Amino acid sequence: MAEATRAGPAPLLELRDVHAAYGPFRAIFGVSFALQPGRVLALLGSNGAGKTTIARLCSGLVVPTSGHVFFDGRDVTGNKAYRYARLGVVHAPEGRSVFASLSVEENLELTFRRSRGRAGVREALDEAFTLFPRLGERRRQIAGTLSGGEQRMLSLSRVMVERPRLLLADELSLGLAPIVVDEVYDTLGQIRDGGTTLLIVEQHVHHALSLADDAIVLVKGEVAYSGPVSELGDLRDRVLGGGHDGGTAG
């Protein structure tokens, strides 16, 4: 994939020989890849392979011990997370982050008033309810009384409406019912069609591969495969357990 990237458009995101550790524990070993604008990259591997560490590297939450991270041709290695955010990088981590005592609409208003100002809140709310119609039906409901899947939709809608340049989607389907996972991936498809570049860390392998152009398979912190999804071949069976869903971020 690296050679193809050099011959094509400049990558939006690029890692070059990146190593990372948590204290004395090394997590990533010499990872390199490039993600071009408008494409979807699925980051796959078993539990503990290093997937979430890479997502955190790409949003500034983890700093490499060596190697470089580039965004839109600029070396951003060591930058704080808020600087990545200013460049248009949004990290949607696993789990839920909602204000349980506020309504759905109030949760969204808090985010959109800060990012779009008072005048832009109504338009942003309409966009959120278009992406997730179920939230529109529950706009007056207290967020803490929503189902787990609905709370996940609420937390996702706050970042997806902003249409980032790069969305790092980390285990979005974790703990969700299959029908809700389908809804989340339908929304990711809309985000992709709107021009956002996506890096997906996912336990539901078949969902990720159905959306992705390219894939990276990690084994114990190293890249075992990097290239088009169409060429993943028997590595999918050997490393990903025959393509069945399984594993969590590592």
Residue 156's pLDDT is: 82
CATH fold of 2-97+164-240, please? Rossmann fold (3.40.50)
* Residue 220 predicted with pLDDT over 70: yes
* Residue 4 predicted with pLDDT over 60: no
Q: Which one is predicted more confidently, 100 or 175?
A: 100
Tell me the pLDDT tens digit for each residue of 102-153.
999 999 998 888 878 888 899 999 999 998 899 999 999 999 999 888 888 8
Alpha helices in the chain (DSSP H): 2-7, 51-57, 81-87, 104-116, 121-131, 133-137, 148-160, 178-193, 205-211, 235-240
Q: Where are the domains of the chain?
A: 2-97+164-240
Tell me the pLDDT tens digit for each residue of 78-95.
999 999 999 999 888 766
Tell me the pLDDT tens digit for each residue of 201-216.
987 788 889 899 999 9
Q: How far apart, in whole angstroms, are the C-alpha atoms of residue 151 and residue 169?
A: 16
